[in-house]
Structure 1
Amino acid sequence: MKNLKLLAVMVLVFSLSAFTNKTDDNGYKIGDFATDFSLENIDGKMVSLSDFKKAEGFIVVFTCNTCPYAVAYEDRIEALNQKYADKGFPVIAIMPNNTDVMPGDNMEAMRERAKSKGFSFPYLLDKGQQIYPQYGATKTPHIYLLQKTEKGNEVKYIGAIDDNYQDAEAVKVKYVEDAVDALLEGKAIKVTETKAIGCSIKV
C-alpha cells in the first residue's frame, strides 16, 4: 500500500513538472507583443525593457550558469551584444531556473559567472519564475528577438542562436544574426522560428 501511494505521488509530481515546464504552447508567437518586466540585475538594480530608450529592439536570452549548452553559447551571446547593442539591439539575459533546485544559478553565482566571463549585458534573475512562462521559453538558451514598434515590442524571431552548439567555428547558419541584420536593413526575416537546443528550464 505504501509503495502504491509513493508511486502515485511520484506520478503526480512528474506530471505537474512536465505541465509546468511545457510553456511553449501558451507563450509568445511571432507577431505577438511582449509585455515589459522589472527584474533584478546582478548589480542589484531593477531592469526593464523601457529603460532602454534608444533601443530599437532586444535580443532576449533565457540562459543560466549550470547548463552545458548555455555555457557553450556564453561567448557567442557576448559577441551578439558587442555587435548589436550599439546598433539598437542589446542582449538582455534572463536566468529562469528555480534556484532552490539549481543553487548554482542563484544571484551570487550569476554575479561570479558574469564577472569571470566579462558579460557586458544585463543578467537578470526571473525570481518567482514569472517571466519565462509568459514568453514560452522551455530551454537554456532560448532566444526571443523583439522589435520596438508603435504598438509595443513585437516578437520577430524565436529559437536557437545558430545551427551548431558544439562548435562555433562550424556554424553555417547564424539565425539570430541573420534576423537582426534583416530588421536593421528593413527586410523580412527569412527564418522566424527554430527549435531551441539546450537544457530544460528547472521548475
Structure 2
Amino acid sequence: MDAASPLPDPRPFYERAADQMAALIDLATKDTLDRQTPCTEYDVQGLVSHVIAGTRRFVTVGEHGAAPAAADDAPDVPGDGLAEAYATERRKLAAAWADDAKLDTEVTVPWGTMPGRYALSGSVMETVTHAWDLSRTLGHPIPLDQELAAFALGTARQALPAEGREGLPFGPVVPVDPAETDAYVQLAGWLGRTP
C-alpha cells in the first residue's frame, strides 16, 4: 500500500465494519451455513470462519507488530458458535489497537511492512468485502453502509494493482459502471468478483 497517501484513523471504520459483519452473522441460520458465497472457496460457515481467523491475525499484528509466520487456519467453530467467536475476536482486536501510537508504528503483514494504519485499513477492506459476500448470499437482508464500502474501495485501489495480480488471491478486475452501481459492487468488481 502506498504509505505516502494519508489515511484517516481506520479504527472507527473497523468498528462499523465489525458491527455490520456481526449483524449479518446473526442472520445466518443452520439452513444457510452451506450456501456458496461469491468468495468461491467458501460457503457461509467457511467464510465466517475465515473472517474470524483474519480478525485473530490482526489481533496478533496489533499486539506484536507482525502477523503469524503461517496463515491461521480457519477455526473449527460450530455454526451456532460463529457469532460468539466473532464477537470475542473483534473485542480483542479493538483492545490490541487501542493505543494511538500503533497507527504510525511499522508492522509486518503478509503483503508487506507499513504503518499500522495502512495494515488495519486492509483488515477493514477484508471485513467490508466479506460482509458484501455474506449479504449477497443471504439475500441482502440489511442495508449495507456505503461509506464503509467507499473507504474499502479506496484502500483496495491503493493496495491492489489493476494489473499483475498473478499469485495474489484476487481475480482480474471486473469492469462495472460507477454511475450505475454502488460502492459495494465497485469494490467487488475491483477485487475480481462478478457482482
Alignment TM-score, normalising by the size of structure 2: 0.25
Q: Which has the higher strand share?
A: 1
Structure with bigger RCO (C-alpha 8 Å, 6+ apart): 1
Structure number, greater radius of gyration: 1
Q: Which has the higher helix share?
A: 2
Alignment TM-score, normalising by the size of structure 1: 0.24
